[in-house]
Amino acid sequence: MEKYDVAVIGSGPGGFSAAMRAIDFGKKVCLIEAGHLGGAGIMNGALTSKAMWELSKDYSMAARVDRGYRSSGLSVSYKEVLSSVKQAAKQARLQMLSQIETFSEPKNEAGGTVVLKYGHARFVDKHTLSITHNEEEELIQATNIVIATGSRPRSLPGVEIDHKNIITSDDIMKLKDFPEKMLIIGSGIIGCEFATIFSNYGQTEVHLLDRQKRVIPFEDDDISKAISNSLENNGVIIHHTASLGTIRKKKDYLEVVLDFEDGHCDVLEVDIALISIGRQPNSDDLGLENVGIKPTERGELDITRHCALDDFKNCHIFAVGDVSVEGLKLYNAAELQGRHVIEALYSDEKMPLDYSNMATLMFFRPLVASVGLNEKMCQERGIAYRVATYSNELVNRSIAMRSKGGFVKILVSDDGNDRILGMRAIGPQASSFITSIAYLINQYSSLKDANQGIYPHPSITEGIQECLRVFENKSVLKPEAFPHLISYRTWKPSK
Ligand SMILES: Cc1cc2nc3c(=O)[nH]c(=O)nc-3n(C[C@H](O)[C@H](O)[C@H](O)COP(=O)(O)OP(=O)(O)OC[C@H]3O[C@@H](n4cnc5c(N)ncnc54)[C@H](O)[C@@H]3O)c2cc1C
Ligand SMILES: NC(=O)c1ccc[n+]([C@@H]2O[C@H](COP(=O)([O-])OP(=O)(O)OC[C@H]3O[C@@H](n4cnc5c(N)ncnc54)[C@H](O)[C@@H]3O)[C@@H](O)[C@H]2O)c1
């Protein structure tokens, strides 16, 4: 039986980063993958959806008629879009394979190596895994085992996903053409991202089912409202306070009944129904019963701040990424955890993981970036705060881009320390500047520290600068002159 220092189950961002950091510590690593190399980090997930988003954004830009140009004969082929998206996935996968090949033999003094085995891994005992591939079984042993098996789309009780007309995000790349009419069930990040992508192409009538009054319900109302408005401006028809009644399969279409909170129903005919109501951890069929590990009711693996499934000192089995209960279900969270578990095992790194400055991007039109606390979180935790918003409409770069809408919103603590607590930014380039605020949060910086920055002109980041100045009543443009574009308020918990 082959023996390894570390076996990693799953090659998504969590598993791959763990395997690569283990090489740095001179370890002999076995990386096991049952499906696509790179997991949802690449295929049917972060990379492929972002490639689709980028292409759809370019197309929608070319289709504009309000910028002094008008393209003629513009057309788009879903097949060719997919071909480009597949190329993107292939490029990233080949890079991973190149590195795996490079380290199949020791390359430096530390001497770490990695072998990739395709197959489904299950625990036989605490140090032994069986790997099944094409009905052949192999056993391997490892001192430490990292479970990085990720997640899959959650199904909707009573609705059979046929992967043709009733689909999940895993099936988007199997579609043959742009649907004429599409219903997206679930208005979380995946639902709103695909609503943005398909509406950007303008080939599909997109309906979005939202159980509540606002999409992206975990964000503050002003953010959710801005996202709702921008989706609607892009042509998406949002059915707020609706739940799915029935889906009936007809010969050429789906007949869908939507039940609304006020008691009325709407019947729609669509070609495709996309179910995007969250994701389910891949913790079943891992033989966890053989090693005494019981997932939570939701199927997640309950880990410590060092990603251990038991007391760290006595633990040989760890879990990272979407399968775990900790952190946000994001690419960067999985990668952070994968790196951390190996550093905690083989170095002096003993600080528990801190997710407070983890930034997120949501790929709508325009982009939404977030880091740290929002008003809802502060209110739930009873944290007194001051909050300011500053519209991009007052920022010269945004004016030059002829870009409409978008704003930054910053929260600072109202406890005399003026600590930066969080930021939300809606607008172009939000992805590139969110990390500057993430850094300030990580450094426990105050408003005074943050105001030391000198921002380049003309840049969208000048909106952050002005927003920070609003707290100290030092902004160049004043809330009194632009009450609908600049706001400031405070909140304290009631005693
Ligand atoms: C449509 C979509 C868009 C997304 N966009 C973003 C984004 O823009 N930004 C962002 O930060 N996040 C995004 N995410 C989330 C991100 O992709 C995940 O959080 C991340 O991939 C989780 O990484 P992971 O390593 O935990 O698991 P995964 O990436 O899911 O990888 C797990 C791997 O384990 C393998 N596996 C499972 N069971 C076994 C087994 N028993 N044996 C062997 N192998 C096994 C699977 O085949 C899979 O390849 C998106 C997700 C989706 C679905
Ligand atoms: N840009 C990004 O960072 C990015 C992009 C895509 C996905 N992701 C990750 O993928 C994960 C999964 O995304 P998701 O959008 O599937 O989940 P989600 O948890 O973000 O949203 C699910 C939505 O479905 C709704 N819902 C739940 N049950 C429903 C039902 N029976 N009927 C109608 N609606 C229902 C919920 O109210 C919620 O709005 C997210 O947690 C996110 O972290 C991240």
> What residues does each domain of the chain span?
2-152+280-346, 166-277, 366-491
| CATH match for 366-491 among 3.50.50.60, 3.30.470.20, 3.60.10.10, 3.30.390.30 | 3.30.390.30
pLDDT band, very low/low/confident/very high, at 308 (cuts 50, 70, 90): confident
Q: What residue numbers does the annotated binding site for NAD(+) cover?
A: 186-193, 278
CB atoms near residue 337 (< 10 Å): 28
Q: What is the pLDDT of residue 313?
A: 78
The answer, yes or no, to whether any atom of ligand 2 lies below 6 A from the CB of 277, is: yes
> Residue 240: what are its φ and ψ, rounded to 5°?
-75, 155
Say yes or no to pLDDT of 312 above 80: no
Mutate to test the pocket of ligand 2, among 279, 355, 371 (most ligand atoms within 8 A of CB): 279
CA dihedral 210, 295, 142, 338 (to 10 degrees): 40
In single-letter form, the type of residue at position 70 comes to R
Q: What is the pLDDT of residue 453?
A: 84
pLDDT band, very low/low/confident/very high, at 356 (cuts 50, 70, 90): confident
Mean per-residue pLDDT of the chain: 95
Q: How many CA atoms lie within 13 A of 363 on its CB side?
A: 21
The answer, yes or no, to whether any atom of ligand 2 lies below 6 A from the CB of 188, is: yes
CATH superfamily, with its number, for domain 166-277: FAD/NAD(P)-binding domain (3.50.50.60)
SS3 category, 19:
helix
Instruction: Determine the atom of ligand 1 nearest the C-alpha atom of 320.
Output: 26
The answer, yes or no, to whether any atom of ligand 2 lies below 6 A from the CB of 168, is: no
The closest ligand to the CA of 14 turns out to be: 1
Say yes or no to pLDDT of 270 above 90: yes
What tens digit of pLDDT does each residue of 63-85 get? Answer: 999 999 999 999 999 999 999 99
Q: What is the pLDDT of residue 164?
A: 96
Q: Which two three-digit tokens encode residue 11?
A: 């090659």
Mutate to test the pocket of ligand 1, among 36, 149, 431 (most ligand atoms within 8 A of CB): 149
Confidence (pTM): 0.96
What whole-number distance in Å separates Cα of residue 44 and Cα of residue 154? 14
Same fold: 2-152+280-346 with 166-277: yes
What whole-number distance in Å separates Cα of residue 220 and Cα of residue 367? 16
What whole-number distance in Å separates Cα of residue 449 and Cα of residue 111? 44
Q: Which range is most confident: 30-39, 348-357, 441-450?
A: 30-39
Q: What is the pLDDT of residue 88?
A: 98
* Residues known to be catalytic: 457
Q: What is the pLDDT of residue 332?
A: 95
> Distance from the CA of 409 to the center of ligand 2, in angstroms?
23
Phi-psi region of 112 (alpha: psi -120 to 50; beta: other; left: phi over 0): beta
Give the H/E segment covering residue 195. helix 189-201
Q: Which long-range contacts (CB under 8 A, 24 or more apart) does 296-299 make?
A: 296/325
456: exposed, middle or buried (Cβ count in 10 Å: 0-12, 13-18, 19+) = exposed
397 vs 259, 409, 424, 489, CA distance in Å?
A: 44, 18, 19, 26
Residue nearest atom 33 in ligand 2 by C-alpha distance: 186
Compute the residue count for the chain.
495
> Distance from the CA of 45 to the center of ligand 2, in angstroms?
13
Structural Rg of the chain based on CA atoms: 24
Q: Which two three-digit tokens encode residue 153?
A: 């789309």
Residues 6+ apart with CB under 8 A from 106: 112, 113
Architecture of the 2-152+280-346 domain: 3-Layer(bba) Sandwich (3.50)
Residue nearest atom 14 in ligand 2 by C-alpha distance: 278
What tens digit of pLDDT does each residue of 153-206 get? Answer: 999 999 999 999 999 999 999 999 999 999 999 999 999 999 999 999 999 999
78 vs 46, 51, 181, 197, 201, CA distance in Å?
A: 19, 13, 15, 12, 10
The answer, yes or no, to whether any atom of ligand 1 lies below 6 A from the CB of 39, is: yes
Q: What residue numbers does the annotated binding site cover?
A: 50, 149-151, 186-193, 278, 322
Q: What is the pLDDT of residue 273?
A: 98
Residues 6+ apart with CB under 8 A from 368: 216, 223, 227, 361, 362, 424, 425, 426, 430
What whole-number distance in Å separates Cα of residue 337 and Cα of residue 442? 17
The answer, yes or no, to whether any atom of ligand 1 lies below 6 A from the CB of 32, is: yes
The answer, yes or no, to whether any atom of ligand 1 lies below 6 A from the CB of 49, is: yes
Q: What is the pLDDT of residue 304?
A: 78
Is-cis flag, bond preceding 157, omega within 30?
no
What whole-number distance in Å separates Cα of residue 161 and Cα of residue 179? 17
Mutate to test the pocket of ligand 2, among 43, 54, 189 (most ligand atoms within 8 A of CB): 189
